[in-house]
Amino acid sequence: SAVISQKPSRDICQRGTSLTIQCQVDSQVTMMFWYRQQPGQSLTLIATANQGSEATYESGFVIDKFPISRPNLTFSTLTVSNMSPEDSSIYLCSAGTNSFYEQFFGPGTRLTVL
Amino acid sequence: SQQGEEDPQALSIQEGENATMNCSYKTSINNLQWYRQNSGRGLVHLILIRSNEREKHSGRLRVTLDTSKKSSSLLITASRAADTASYFCATAPNTGKLIFGQGTTLQVKP
């Protein structure tokens, strides 16, 4: 298993600003993912964070809006850029050994954009 | 498009009763997983059932999988107030990543 921490746990931001969310895993993992969960909705995969290279984005998500870094096997960041109220969501980091087995989730970052 | 659809969307039961949630999906899968989420926090992995398995148990949880009907069910027996949460199924297609269903919100009344 893996224990995942995220920070900040929540934030209230102004329209047009950017927020960087950090995700730290307590052990080396192969895969790290970023999800968005809009209010009352399910999880939608934003991207797979790849160590030392560009993230792999899902349809509907672009690097300019959600730049992701993963400098090593245990740490990743997601930036939500040029925010609008529609970006208000919970952002979740997860980690696992591969893309379709058990994933361990962080506690999430609750973002409100005014 | 969303792979998993769950029903019911919401379920309210008394403590001690059993809770059953269902998940349907559309394409062939490698496995199906169930997760729990408390009050908008992170998800906790509950159980994974592979496509060649029909039933799996873990404590008070029982999961079934019917690949011919492309459906799964999660049964929580002898429910407790602490089981109050949202429950999500997640399907793992043979190629690709986990796809989460819409979830079932379970309320267990003391």
CB contact under 8 Å between B97 and A106, yes or no, is no
Q: Does A13 touch chain B (CB under 8 A)?
A: no
CB contact under 8 Å between A42 and B42, yes or no, is no
**pLDDT score, position B6:** 87
**pLDDT score, position B39:** 83
Of B40, B98, B103, the CB nearest to A90: B40
Q: What is the DSSP string of B66-108?
A: ETTTTEEEEEE-S--GGG-EEEEEEEEESSS--EE---EEEEE
**pLDDT score, position A101:** 83
Q: For residue range B41-60, what is the model confidence (pLDDT) as tens digits?
A: 889 999 999 999 999 999 99
Is the model's pLDDT at B2 over the cut of 60? no
CB contact under 8 Å between A101 and B92, yes or no, is yes
**pLDDT score, position A97:** 82
Q: Is-contact A65 A57, C-beta < 8 A?
A: no
Contacts of B99 in chain A (CB under 8 A): 45
What value does the mean pLDDT of chain B take? Answer: 92
Q: For the ranges A70-84, A95-109, B16-30, B79-93, which has the lowest average pLDDT?
A: A95-109
What confidence category does residue B1 fall into, taking pLDDT thresholds of 50, 70 and 90? very low
Contacts of A102 in chain B (CB under 8 A): 33, 45, 48
Q: Does A38 touch chain B (CB under 8 A)?
A: no
Phi, psi (deg, nearest 5) at residue B89: -95, 150
Q: Measure the CA dihedral A81/A74/A55/A87, to 10°.
A: -30
**pLDDT score, position A98:** 77
Residue in B with minimal Cα distance to A89: B40
Please state the rounded mean pLDDT for residues B63-74: 96
Distance from C-alpha of A78 to C-alpha of A70, rounded to nearest angstrom: 9
Name the helix (H) or strand (E) containing B41. Answer: none
CB contact under 8 Å between B42 and A103, yes or no, is no
Of B33, B41, B88, the CB nearest to A42: B88
